[in-house]
Amino acid sequence: MLNTSGCAEVLYMEERFPGVYKENESFYTENLVPGSAVYGEPLLRSGGSEYRRWDYNRSKAAAALKKGVTRFPVARDGAVLYLGASTGTTVSHISDIVNEGIVYAVEYAPKVARGLVSLADTRENIAPILGDARKPAAYASLCSTVDVIYQDVAQKGQIRILKENADLFLRPAGHAMIAIKAQSISSTEPAETVFEQAKDQLREDFKILAGKKLAPFHTDHLYLVLKYSS
Ligand SMILES: C[S@@+](CC[C@H](N)C(=O)[O-])C[C@H]1O[C@@H](n2cnc3c(N)ncnc32)[C@H](O)[C@@H]1O
């Protein structure tokens, strides 16, 4: 059904995790800036609120939800450190979820960071940081202690990057979500081997709570939900 503004309207949205909704096999977040889409995603209205469809082909978090990941530990008042923000596709949905919290979004490529800064102009809970996730001390003055680290840097040292950022910013028993890209870590070893080695490394500091391989949406990617145990 379409409402008077041409936006589709449904009677019921099922809340699967705080601030994460499901309707007809797609996932949505409640739009922090009603009337405005971020990357051309469809908008949906229900019960007086507006929701943005979360594209699982463009976001690893949405792909993990689509694949049935059992944990999504982001609270509505949470503080999230997002490493590898790019122009902010996934950051925008995390910003919808933490409508009473904040997302510190780190990106090191100046060109894409421009898009992130424009996004932050429209959303008060995004703090964009032009910085290198391999050097967390350099942005320590811009970021506080967080409840969750989300990491999608697609880089060889991504496990070490997560650990170093956790040591500086993650609260005790905080959570992390990481999208591990096998090809970025090793282009010669089978993805399965890379994933097992990455999990072993992560177990030194984290408990693995849940995980999903993201194929067919993102090939050779493993998404893990972790709890900090240091
Ligand atoms: C796969 S893309 C991220 C896509 C984004 N997470 C999303 O879903 O919208 C990886 C991003 O991480 C950034 N990146 C890679 N290494 C980084 C580092 N050391 N510090 C900060 N950003 C980094 C890249 O520039 C790129 O924009």
pLDDT at 215 over 60: yes
Domain count, the chain: 2
Asked whether 90 lines ligand 1 (CB < 6 A), one says yes
What's the whole-number mean pLDDT along residues 132-157? 97
pLDDT at 205 over 80: yes
CATH of the domain at 25: 3.30.200.20
Digit-coded pLDDT (tens) for 115-138: 999 999 999 999 999 999 999 999
The per-residue pLDDT of the chain, averaged, comes to 96
First to last CA, the chain: 50
Look at ligand 1, atom 16, and give the residue with the nearest C-alpha.
153
pLDDT at 56 over 70: yes
**What is the pLDDT confidence band of residue 151, given thresholds at 50, 70 and 90?**
very high
Question: 56 - beta bridge partners?
Answer: none
Domain assignment of residue 100, yes or no: yes
On whether both 122 and 198 belong to a single domain, the answer is yes
Domain span at residue 33 reads: 8-54
Residue 35 Cα to ligand 1 middle (Å): 27
Look at ligand 1, atom 13, and give the residue with the nearest C-alpha.
84
- Say what the pTM is: 0.96
Look at ligand 1, atom 23, and give the residue with the nearest C-alpha.
84
pLDDT at 217 over 80: yes
Which amino acid does the sequence have at 50? E
Domain assignment of residue 85, yes or no: yes
Per-residue confidence (pLDDT) for residue 52, from 0 to 100: 98
What's the whole-number mean pLDDT along residues 57-74? 98
Residue 153 Cα to ligand 1 middle (Å): 4
pLDDT at 4 over 60: no
Residue 120 Cα to ligand 1 middle (Å): 17
Question: What is the share, in percent, of the chain residues with pLDDT greater than 90?
Answer: 95
On whether both 164 and 87 belong to a single domain, the answer is yes
Q: 169-205 burial by CB neighbour count: b if 16+ within 10 A, else e? A: bbeeebbbbbbbbbebbeeeeebeebbeebbeebeeb
On whether both 202 and 218 belong to a single domain, the answer is yes
**What is the pLDDT confidence band of residue 54, given thresholds at 50, 70 and 90?**
very high
Residue in 16, 143, 12, 22 with CA at minimum distance from that of residue 73: 16
Helix (H, G, I), strand (E, B) or coil at 172: strand
On whether both 119 and 21 belong to a single domain, the answer is no
Q: Which of 29, 58, 106, 107 to mutate to test the pocket of ligand 1 (most atoms within 8 A of CB)?
A: 107
On whether both 119 and 181 belong to a single domain, the answer is yes
> Which helix (H) or strand (E) covers residue 209, if one does?
strand 206-213
